Amino acid sequence: MIVILKPDIPKDAPEVQQVLDLASRYEGVTAKLHVVEGATRSLIEIYLIGSTVTVPVEPFAALDCVERVVRVSAKYRLIGRHKGQLEAVGFQYQGLTFDQDSLHVVPGLCAVDTRDHVAQVFRALSQHGIQTARMGAYKPRTSPYDFQGLGKECLPYVFELAGKYGIRVIAMEITHESHIDEIKAALDKAGSPAGVMLQIGTRNAQNFELLKHVGQQQRFPVLFKRGMGITLEESLNACEYVASEGNRKIVFCLRGMKTNLGDPHRNFVDFSHVPVVKRLTRLPVCVDPSHSVGRKELAPDGLTDIHHATAQGVIAGANMVLVDFHPNPARALCDGPQALTLEELDLYLEDIRIVREAYERRRALAARAAAQAAAPAA
Ligand code: PEP
Ligand code: MN
């Protein structure tokens, strides 16, 4: 059960204590407090955990400070919307808003290989007004003999160059909790010129200990990638581990499902799940067309499958696009065949603008239709 307080009541207000005192009267129930920080206001949600089936809603709803009481149906209670009873929750990071209405394009290297390539990517992004990038330092590879990423060695120049080119947020996968400290140390040493969004890759989607670690820290938001071979429900429950440890700055990423039925793509593109995840959860939703499609093949209409998959995600309302770009894909040490070149950035971004505009028009159309349906007949 979730007790939602009226906006802008501070954490230490007597009203909060009043709700906690009431909750303590019910045996086997513990109360956990969460502050939801919105762009313009913050509100407190008090989660009643344990045997709440027999706890009545009315005494809580009757308190002046309470806006609403919601009975929770799904196991992913913090990230869930619970049949539309709760609104989406976004977050601010590095001056940018990540929520179910925003759209950020996050292009960059699958794996950092040279300083020069990092500089070239950041320069191109800044020329296009993009302040978000992906940069892989720690790479989970299928074979131990493949390039494993440069690790902490590349962090000093990645952060220095991010500062130079005005990149505010870098999505960076981590595969072990020690990487969080390495990133923190390198950022602090560089004077924190940029922020990092900690990416949990599909292979670690159910690495519950790693999920708990990224959940226990509040400094970095988390980009959680759906597990490639588990159900959506299982991925949502795994993602809940992050929130349950206290960090609610989460973006949920679709990146395709592993099945031969998706051939010839690397994974079966699952971007029709964008609206599903937006309906089931309060989180912004990202799509990764590069790791979904896995190859840069041209369709007869002159656009690559990666462009088409991107468009499918964006027209369905995706809030973030994580995409591989490389100045020289033939020389990339990881995933070169799916990387777009910097010369292709302009077309790619323009294509996204067209599709986003179409999505916004579709959304406005639906809103008008709903308003008409609700209006009393003349
Ligand atoms: C990546 O984004 O670099 C990556 C490895 O993706 P995924 O975990 O989706 O395979
Ligand atoms: Mn990759």
Q: Over the stretch 20-46, which tens digit does the pLDDT of each residue have?
A: 999 999 999 999 998 887 766 788 999
Task: Report the predicted TM-score, pTM, of the whole model to 2 decimal places.
Answer: 0.95
**Atom of ligand 1 minimally distant from the CA of 199:** 2
Percent of the chain whose pLDDT exceeds 70 = 99
What pLDDT sits at residue 31? 94
What pLDDT sits at residue 39? 63
Closest alpha carbon to 323 in 271, 287, 359, 295: 287
Average pLDDT over residues 235-251: 96
Tell me how far the alpha carbon of residue 166 is from its chain's centroid.
21
Average pLDDT over residues 217-238: 98
Q: Is the pLDDT of residue 1 over 80?
A: yes
User: What residue owns the CA closest to ligand 1's atom 10?
Assistant: 202
Average pLDDT over residues 150-164: 98
Ligand 1 pocket: which of 135, 288, 290, 325 to mutate (most atoms within 8 A of CB): 288
What pLDDT sits at residue 312? 98
What pLDDT sits at residue 51? 85
Q: Is the pLDDT of residue 266 over 70?
A: yes
User: What residue owns the CA closest to ligand 1's atom 5?
Assistant: 201
Q: Verify whether ligand 1 is closer than 6 Å to residue 108 (CB atom).
A: no
Lowest mean per-residue pLDDT among 33-47, 180-194, 288-302:
33-47
User: What residue owns the CA closest to ligand 1's atom 6?
Assistant: 201
User: If you measure from the C-alpha of residue 174 to the centroid of ligand 1, how many angstroms do you get, rounded to a whole number?
Assistant: 10
- Tokens standing for 194? 């940029």
Q: Is the pLDDT of residue 336 over 70?
A: yes
Average pLDDT over residues 150-169: 98
Which ranges in the chain belong to alpha helices (H)?
14-24, 58-61, 115-127, 155-164, 178-189, 208-216, 232-244, 274-280, 289-293, 305-315, 345-374
Between CA 118 and CA 165 the distance in angstroms is 11
pLDDT higher at 50 or 102: 102
Between CA 355 and CA 311 the distance in angstroms is 6
Closest alpha carbon to 221 in 106, 142, 325, 120: 106
Between CA 43 and CA 57 the distance in angstroms is 19
User: If you measure from the C-alpha of residue 115 to the centroid of ligand 2, how many angstroms do you get, rounded to a whole number?
Assistant: 18
Other beta carbons within 10 Å of 309? 23
Q: Is the pLDDT of residue 304 over 90?
A: yes
> Quick one: angle between helices 155-164 and 178-189, nearest 10?
50
What pLDDT sits at residue 376? 86
Between CA 335 and CA 283 the distance in angstroms is 28
Measure the CA dihedral 289/182/205/284, to 10°. -60
User: If you measure from the C-alpha of residue 210 to the centroid of ligand 2, how many angstroms do you get, rounded to a whole number?
Assistant: 20
Residue 316 near residue 274 (C-beta atoms within 8 A): yes
Tell me how far the alpha carbon of residue 29 is from its chain's centroid.
31
User: What residue owns the CA closest to ligand 1's atom 8?
Assistant: 201
Q: Is the pLDDT of residue 378 over 70?
A: no
Tell me the pLDDT band of 290, cut-offs 50, 70 and 90: very high
Average pLDDT over residues 280-305: 97
Tell me the pLDDT band of 63, cut-offs 50, 70 and 90: very high
State how far the alpha carbon of 105 is from the alpha carbons of 133, 320, 325, in Å: 8, 6, 12
Q: Verify whether ligand 1 is closer than 6 Å to residue 226 (CB atom).
A: no
* Ion ligand 2 contact residues with beta carbon within 5 A: 110, 335
Q: Verify whether ligand 1 is closer than 6 Å to residue 266 (CB atom).
A: no
User: If you measure from the C-alpha of residue 74 to the centroid of ligand 2, how many angstroms do you get, rounded to a whole number?
Assistant: 32
Q: Verify whether ligand 1 is closer than 6 Å to residue 338 (CB atom).
A: no
